[in-house]
Amino acid sequence: AIELGCAIPVISLALERRFRSREPEPFSDKLLAAMRQQFGGHAVKRE
């Protein structure tokens, strides 16, 4: 998609998230995980 110049935000966002996963988890991600666990029942992974 990048080589063809097509705008596909989902692919770009997924790639950006993949790069962010290599860095220490920011507070905003911890807050989002806590909200998901509270309201959606998603498990919170602890390291």
- Is residue 36 within 8 A of residue 42, CB to CB? The reply is yes
> In whole angstroms, what is the distance from residue 45 CA to residue 12 CA?
25
pLDDT for the residue numbered 1: 65
Per residue in 1-47, pLDDT (tens digit) is 667 887 778 878 888 888 887 888 788 888 888 888 888 776 666 66
At residue 43, the pLDDT reads: 65
Record the pTM.
0.41
Q: Map out the domains of the chain as residue ranges.
A: 1-47
